[in-house]
Amino acid sequence: MTHIHDHHHPRPGSAVELRARALETLLAERGLVSTDAIDAVVELYEHDVGPQNGAKVVARAWVDERYRERLLSAANEAIAELGFGGAEGDNMVVVANTPAMHNMVVCTLCSCYPWPVLGLPPSWYKSPPDRARAVSEPGAVLREFGLELGEDVAIRVWDSSAEVRYLVLPMRPRETDGWSENELAAIVTRDCMIGTGVPVARETAIP
């Protein structure tokens, strides 16, 4: 998803906007770009980035027990089945939340992140103090994200590295019986898959 700040109504055709249009026209005339190709890239960036790929993986695991088993035992292969992965998504390990155990992923040394399945990392992921606190006091950090876990729920923090990148498989909300895979994927956010949130069955997503 992309933030378009529509409330910020610019006067029509600011100088820089006109310049952008003029450059596009010139490049199109020279055959260096095509409007269609630019449309396709803009569309791709607006809709194909972010955590949708990972959300589809989670939704499949929720509806298909055998896929879930494959995902937890050999994540790379299972993710590749859905056509995702490559590059920074290599060496994925998927860890499943249970009623007794909540998983959270951080990276204390660098900011390794599985781009192909999760899209862009949240900004706090790159902030050293935040990363350190996630390890030393995960419960407090999660509360700051608005996630209150029961006292009987243990929190396990996974330290992502250049070798292994983790993805949290959240628990499917009880209220989602009968939902389609697409409807399920729509409630899986990036935060769910790094363990700083849990999926919430939104009424708007009910068919």
Partner 1 sequence: MSVGASGLATVDRALGAETPLPRDNGELVFDEPWQGRALGMGVVALEGTGASWAEFRRHLAAAIAARPPREGESGATAYYAAWLDALEALLAERGLLNHAP
2 binds partner 1 (CB under 8 A): yes
The beta strands (E) that lie in 138-193 are given as 154-159, 165-169
- Of 7 and 174, the one with the shorter C-beta distance to partner 1 is 7
110 is catalytic: yes
27 binds partner 1 (CB under 8 A): yes
Looking at residue 205, its amino acid is A
Per the residue annotation, which of 112, 127, 180, 192 is the catalytic one? Answer: 112
- Of 3 and 174, the one with the shorter C-beta distance to partner 1 is 3
Backbone φ/ψ region at 178: left (φ over 0), alpha (ψ -120 to 50), beta: left
14 binds partner 1 (CB under 8 A): yes
39-58 positions binding partner 1, by CB under 8 A: 39, 41-42, 44-46, 48-50
Per the residue annotation, which of 14, 34, 73, 110 is the catalytic one? Answer: 110
Query: Per-residue DSSP letters for 43-105?
Result: HHHHHSSSTHHHHHHHHHHHH-HHHHHHHHH-HHHHHHHTT---GGG-SEEEEE-BTTEEEEE
Nearest to 56 by CA among 189, 171, 202: 189
4 binds partner 1 (CB under 8 A): yes
192 is catalytic: no
C-beta neighbour count of 153 within 10 angstroms: 14
109-128 positions binding partner 1, by CB under 8 A: 115-116, 119-123, 125
81 binds partner 1 (CB under 8 A): no
Give the orientation angle of helix 15-29 with respect to helix 35-47, to 10 degrees.
120
- 65, two tokens: 């027990």
137-196 positions binding partner 1, by CB under 8 A: 190
29 binds partner 1 (CB under 8 A): yes
**Least distance in angstroms from the C-beta of 52 to partner 1:** 10
**Least distance in angstroms from the C-beta of 37 to partner 1:** 5
**Whole-angstrom Cα distance, residue 102 to residue 99?**
8
Looking at residue 1, its amino acid is M
159: buried, middle or exposed (CB in 10 Å: 19+, 13-18, 0-12)?
Answer: middle
12 binds partner 1 (CB under 8 A): no
Q: Which residues are catalytic?
A: 107, 110-112
List contacts with partner 1 (CB under 8 A). Answer: 1-5, 8, 10, 14, 16-17, 19-21, 23-24, 26-27, 29-34, 37-39, 41-42, 44-46, 48-50, 83-84, 86-88, 115-116, 119-123, 125, 190
